[in-house]
Amino acid sequence: MHGFWRRPAPLFLTVCLLIYAISTATAANFVDGDVDAGRTLYWYGLNHQGEPVTATAQGDIKFSGTQFSCVSCHRPSGFGSSEGGHYVPPISGPKIFSPAEADRVERFKEMFQESQPSSFWAQVREPRLRPAYDENTLARALRDGINPKGEQLNPVMPRYDIGDRDMANLVAFMQTLSADIDPGVEQSVIHFATVITEDADEAAGDAVFQTIQTFFKWMNKDTEGDLDHPTFSPGYRSTFLDAYRRWELHVWKLTGAPETWPGQLAEYYLQQPVFAVVSGLTRGPWKRIGDFCDQQRLPCLFPNSELPRLSDVEYGYSLYFSGGLALEASALASYISQLPQRPEQLTQLWHSDPYGEVPAKAFARAMAELMPETVVESQAYSDVDELHATLARMAASSNKGGLVLWPGENIATTIHTLAQSGLRASLIALPSNALSAAKNVFVDVMRERAVFAHPYELPSRYHPRKFRVRAWMHSRRLKVTHPRLQYQTYYALTLLQYGLVHLLSDFHRDYLIELIEHEAENRLNPGTHPSLALGPGQRIASKGAYVVAIDPGEKGGIKALSDWIVP
C-alpha cells in the first residue's frame, strides 16, 4: 500500500489512460443525425431504411416498431403522459438533456396534477432526480434500460435494438423536440384568435364573440387579482406566478371567396402569431382553415362548423365537436337500414353547395354499404325553382318511396317549398339544421313522416353542468341568444383554460392538445352532447346522433325515434 501511494503517478496515469481509451472506444459518435429520420423513428418506429425497429419490454415482450413506438407513450410533445396509475416521464429536448433537479413547480405537478404509481407515493421524498443525459447515456438507456445514475429504468420502458445511425437520428430529433416554446407567448401576454367568416350568421357570430370576450375578461380579472397579491396564496398560487399570462383575443374575420382564406389567415398570423385558435363560427367547409392550422401546427379548438375536415383528422391540429353533416347523413342511413319496413327506393335531393353535397355523398356511401339492394336516386338542384319542379313531379308520381333532402345553405326557403309540395313520401329525412324551420311549417302527414338527424343531447336530458354554465353567463350579464353555440364555445374555452393551467410555463402547442385530449372526457360537458370525449390522437369529441321527429308535446318540441346511433 505504502509503496503504491509513494509512487502513484505512473500506474495511476496508466489506469486512467486505459479507462479513457476504453470509454472513448466504446462511446459511439451519435452526432450529425438526420432530424427527419429521427422523427420517423420516434413516430412510426421505422429505422433509416424504412424497416420497423424491434424492442423488448417487461423483459420478454418482444414487439415491432409498428405495434407502438416512442410517440405512443411519450407523446408528440415529448412531455409524456400519465394514465391509470402509470407515469411516463417527459423526454423533450430541454428536459432529457438537462439534469432532473428538485423543482417545486414540477413536484407540485407530479404530486397533484398527474396520475402516479404507488411507488411514487412510497418514495415521495425522493423525487426523480438524475444527471443530464448525453448521447451516449441516452443510447445506453434506449438499448439497455439504464439511466445516467446507473439505475435500471422501469421495465415497461422498452429496450430497443437500434444501430448507431438510427440512434444518431433519434438524438438529433430529440434535441429539437419541444426545444423552444411556441409562438404567441410573451412575457406577460398570451395571444389567442377566433375565426369568424364574413357570411356566417351575424347574430350567431356575435353571440359566440360575446361569450369569448366575456370569458377572457373574467379570466384576466382573476389573473390580475392573483398577480396583484403575490403573497396571498391560497392553493399555492404564488408558486406558479411565472405561468400567468394575460389572455389577449384577436378576431380573425375572413372575407371574400374561401380560396382567399389561407392568404388572409397567413396575414393575420404574420401580424400577430397566436398560441391557439379557439371556437369561432364559420360558413363553408373548415378544410382550408384546418389545413392552415396543420401547416402552422396551430391548435384550432372546437370551431362551430357543420363541415369539419374529416380526412387525415387524427393527430391533426383541429379539434371538433362532431362529424357535422357527414355524420348526420351516416346516422340517418343507419337509422333507415334498421327500420322494420325498409323503403325499397329512396330519392336523395341536395342543393349544389357544400352543405348539400357533403352529406349527400356521405349518405350515398353509407347506403351502398348498409343497404346495397336499395335504389338511391341522387339528384342535385341549383335553386328553389328546380327543387319545386322536382318535388311536384314526385308528388304526382305513384312512387311513394322515401325522400332524403339536404337543403344546403338556403334552409328556410327549402323547407317552405317542401312543406308546400304536397309530397306524401313514406319517409322524409332531413338534417338537424332544418328542424327549427320545419317545426314552424310542417303539418299533418309531412310532420308525421319527417325525421331529423340530431347529433346533440335531447332537450329532456339533464346535465348538471348546463345549469352552472347558464348561471355563469347570467351572472355576467351575457345574453344567451344562441344557447347551444354559446355553451359549445364555453366548453372550448374551459378546456383551453384547463390546458393552460396544466402547461404551467411549458408553452408547447402539442402539449396543450395532449392535455385537452386527456381532459375532454371529464365533467366539463355543458350538456350540448350526450358525451364529449377524446383520446390520444382523437379529434372528434361526439361520435353519434339521435334520429328525432317533431312532437310539440315534448320538451324542446322533439322526440327521439332512435337510440344514440354511432355509425
Partner 1 sequence: MARTRQSQVSHTAALAALLVAVSFVGSINAGQRSDGGHIHHAAHDNPTSQAANGQAKMPSYTRTVGDYAPPTVNLTDSQGSEVTLSELLSHDQPILMQFIFTSCATICPLMSATFARGQSALTATRDGYRMLSISIDPEYDTPKRLAAYAKKNRAGDHWTFLTGSQDDIGQVMRAFNVLYQSDNKMYHRPYTFLRARSDSPWIRIDGFLTVSELVAEYSEALHSANASLN
- Of the candidate residues 117, 256, 263, 422, the single one contacting partner 1 (CB under 8 A): 117
Residue 115 CB, shortest distance to partner 1, in Å, is 6
Is 352 a binding residue for partner 1 by CB under 8 A? The answer is no
Is 368 a binding residue for partner 1 by CB under 8 A? The answer is no
Query: For the range 239-246, what are the long-range contacts, defined as Cβ-Cβ under 8 Å and sequence gap of 24 or more?
Result: 239/104, 239/105, 239/108, 240/105, 240/108, 240/504, 242/105, 242/504, 242/505, 243/105, 243/503, 243/504, 243/505, 245/185, 245/186, 245/188, 245/189, 245/190, 245/500, 246/188, 246/189, 246/190, 246/220
- What residue type is 130 in one-letter code? R
Is 564 a binding residue for partner 1 by CB under 8 A? The answer is yes
Residue 515 CB, shortest distance to partner 1, in Å, is 11
* Binding characters for partner 1, 502-541, by CB under 8 A (x = yes): ----------------xx-xxx-------x-x-xxxx---
**Residues of this chain, 118-137, that bind partner 1 according to CB under 8 A:** 118-120, 122-123
**Residues of this chain, 59-98, that bind partner 1 according to CB under 8 A:** 59-63, 66-68, 72-73, 75, 81-88
Stretch that binds partner 1, among 55-63, 242-250, 378-386, 456-464 (CB under 8 A): 55-63
Residue 523 CB, shortest distance to partner 1, in Å, is 7
DSSP assignment of 402-460 equals: EEEEE-TT-HHHHHHHHHHS----S-EEE-GGGHHHHHHH--HHHHHHEEEEE-S--TT
Residue 280 CB, shortest distance to partner 1, in Å, is 25
Calpha distance 413→417 (Å, rounded): 6
Residue 69 CB, shortest distance to partner 1, in Å, is 9
Residue 530 CB, shortest distance to partner 1, in Å, is 8
- Of the candidate residues 54, 56, 223, 390, the single one contacting partner 1 (CB under 8 A): 56
Residue 296 CB, shortest distance to partner 1, in Å, is 24
All 3 cell numbers of residue 544? 353519434
DSSP letter at 552 equals: T
Calpha distance 252→258 (Å, rounded): 14
Q: Which residues pair with 185 in a beta bridge?
A: 190
- Of the candidate residues 29, 115, 295, 352, the single one contacting partner 1 (CB under 8 A): 115
Residue 331 CB, shortest distance to partner 1, in Å, is 12
Q: Which residues pair with 57 in a beta bridge?
A: 61
Q: Which is nearer to partner 1, 60 or 228 (CB)?
A: 60
Q: Which is nearer to partner 1, 69 or 374 (CB)?
A: 69
Other Cβ atoms less than 10 A from the Cβ of 453: the count is 28
Is 338 a binding residue for partner 1 by CB under 8 A? The answer is no
* Best CA proximity match to 458, nearest among 548, 541, 523, 540: 548
Calpha distance 41→48 (Å, rounded): 8
* Binding characters for partner 1, 138-177, by CB under 8 A (x = yes): ------xxxx--xxxxxxx--x------------------
Q: Which is nearer to partner 1, 254 or 453 (CB)?
A: 453
Q: Which residues of 365-374 are buried (b: 16+ CB within 10 A; e: fewer)?
A: ebbeebbeeb
* Best CA proximity match to 278, nearest among 296, 304, 297: 304
Say which residues have a Cβ less than 8 Å from residue 19's Cβ, sequence separation at least 6. none
Residue 404 CB, shortest distance to partner 1, in Å, is 23
Residue 75 CB, shortest distance to partner 1, in Å, is 7
- Residue 377 CA from chain centroid, whole number: 36
Is 51 a binding residue for partner 1 by CB under 8 A? The answer is no
Residue 473 in contact with residue 485, Cβ under 8 Å? no
> Which spans of this chain sit near partner 1 (rule: CB under 8 A)?
56-63, 66-68, 72-73, 75, 81-88, 115, 117-120, 122-123, 144-147, 150-156, 159, 518-519, 521-523, 531, 533, 535-538, 543-544, 563-564, 566
